[in-house]
């Protein structure tokens, strides 16, 4: 039989309030002898506190919401695994939602998570997030009443975020190709509305400018970060015999290009030097391991969770923005020009 505080109060011949004060170790004028008696009765009755009620009284759930735009993207899969593990290490559980790469999906997820009593939310924004009305977005965040932090994105809005320096990463990637003698470097950019696409495009142009290489618009090709878009861009890129190297805004579009070349019997690795972005898991196991820009998902997770937990605890010295330095991972897909 399960006993509650009322049963203890009845047996000890005291009020329910008295039992609550004693079992929750609150200050009171109750004698030491009576406290010991109440605790002994609770022990004999095998009393177990209602953890849900305790958490409710403290207004804390130890649940954190995590929203990502597309869990099928290997980078977001890896990021989700890191976040889930680190939250567990800090005593929190993860409530996960895939937004379907839509602002409406994000808005609904935020509202639903808040109604379920999460302590805070980590949001990896969709492509549509920054197309939404900024006043509406800021109002959504303020009305949530709980801290929300953006991951893998930067913003001028009054919102905290953790992101990588995408401009610097693209400059590093461009420099790696230039250092191997390449001057006709194609760039596969993401569509302008995609998260981080503009910054990576800017880094490519800055890298060319730094090395006094003229920017050529006809060497720029636009995809949507999916492998399918890289697949369909492959024939267009192959039409340019002057191109000796390719820099892609993400690894997935290069995977699509590689798939097309295999189907067509084209030795793509002999034809081009290539650098990707994101250091997704498959970059190491393809036919020629891919040189890529690493965005340390583990560090992003750790920094974002640290920021969020400090906000949850009401700390006043919380950093509003964290920008992480990227790293070039050299493998075998870049070679000196012949």
Nearest Cα residue to 19 out of 7, 1, 3 = 7
| Angle formed at CA 156 by CA 155 and CA 160, multiple of 5 degrees | 60
Contacts of 52 (CB under 8 A, 6+ apart): none
d(CA 236, CA 260): 12
Question: Which residue segments constitute the domains of the chain, with CATH numbers given?
Answer: 5-49 (no CATH), 61-164+296-324 (3.40.50.2300), 166-295 (3.40.50.2300)
Whether residue 74 is predicted with pLDDT greater than 70 in this model: the reply is yes
Nearest Cα residue to 109 out of 127, 95, 119 = 95
Contact 289, 329 (CB under 8 A): no
Segments of 153-223 assigned E as strands: 160-164, 185-190, 220-223
- Which helix (H) or strand (E) segment holds residue 19: the answer is helix 16-23
Other CB atoms within 10 Å distance of the CB of residue 284: 12
d(CA 246, CA 272): 7
Share of the chain above pLDDT 70, in %: 96
Whether residue 25 is predicted with pLDDT greater than 60 in this model: the reply is yes
Question: For helices 251-264 and 227-238, what crossing angle results, to 10°?
Answer: 60
DSSP string computed for 36-90: HHHHHHHHHTT----HHHHHHHHT---EEEEEES-TTSHHHHHHHHHHHHHHHHT
d(CA 175, CA 210): 9
Which range is least confidently modeled, 17-21, 118-122, 332-336? 17-21
**Higher pLDDT residue, 207 or 9?**
207
d(CA 83, CA 97): 13
- Model confidence at 53, pLDDT cuts 50, 70, 90, reads low
Q: Residue 193 — φ and ψ, nearest 5°?
A: -80, -5
Torsion of CA 142, 143, 148, 153, to 10 degrees: -60
The pLDDT value recorded for residue 223 is 96
The pLDDT value recorded for residue 179 is 98
DSSP secondary structure code for residue 11 in this structure: H
pTM: predicted TM-score of the whole model, two decimal places = 0.79
d(CA 49, CA 300): 37
Whether residue 174 is predicted with pLDDT greater than 60 in this model: the reply is yes
d(CA 39, CA 59): 26
């Amino acid at each position: 039989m399960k006993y509650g505080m009322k049963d203890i109060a009845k047996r000890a011949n005291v009020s329910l309030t008295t039992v609550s004060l004693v079992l929750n170790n609150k200050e009171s004028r109750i004698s030491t002898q009576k406290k010991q008696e109440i605790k002994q009765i609770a022990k004999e009755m095998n009393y177990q506190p209602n953890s849900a009620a305790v958490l409710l009284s403290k207004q804390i759930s130890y649940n954190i919401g995590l929203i990502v735009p597309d869990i099928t993207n290997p980078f977001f899969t890896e990021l989700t695994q890191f976040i889930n593990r680190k939250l567990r290490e800090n005593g929190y559980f993860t409530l996960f939602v895939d937004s379907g790469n839509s602002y409406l999906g994000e808005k609904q997820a935020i509202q639903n998570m808040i109604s379920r009593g999460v302590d805070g939310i980590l949001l990896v924004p969709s492509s549509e997030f920054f197309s939404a009305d900024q006043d509406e977005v800021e109002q959504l965040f303020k009305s949530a009443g709980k801290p929300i932090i953006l991951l893998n994105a930067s913003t001028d809005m009054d919102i905290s975020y953790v992101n990588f320096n995408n401009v610097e990463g693209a400059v590093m990637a461009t420099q790696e190709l230039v250092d191997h003698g390449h001057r006709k470097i194609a760039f596969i950019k993401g569509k302008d509305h995609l998260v981080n696409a503009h910054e990576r495009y800017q880094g490519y142009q800055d890298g060319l400018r730094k090395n006094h290489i003229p920017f050529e618009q006809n060497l720029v090709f636009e995809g949507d970060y999916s492998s399918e878009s890289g697949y369909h861009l492959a024939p267009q890129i192959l039409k340019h015999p002057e191109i000796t190297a390719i820099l892609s805004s993400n690894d997935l579009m290069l995977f699509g290009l590689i798939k097309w070349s295999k189907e067509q019997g084209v030795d793509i690795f002999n034809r081009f030097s290539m650098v990707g972005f994101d250091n997704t898991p498959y970059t190491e196991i393809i036919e020629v391991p891919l040189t890529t820009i690493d965005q340390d998902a583990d560090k992003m997770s750790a920094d974002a969770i640290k920021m969020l937990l400090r906000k949850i605890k009401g700390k006043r010295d919380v950093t509003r923005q964290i920008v992480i330095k990227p790293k070039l991972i050299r493998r075998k897909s870049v070679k000196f020009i012949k």
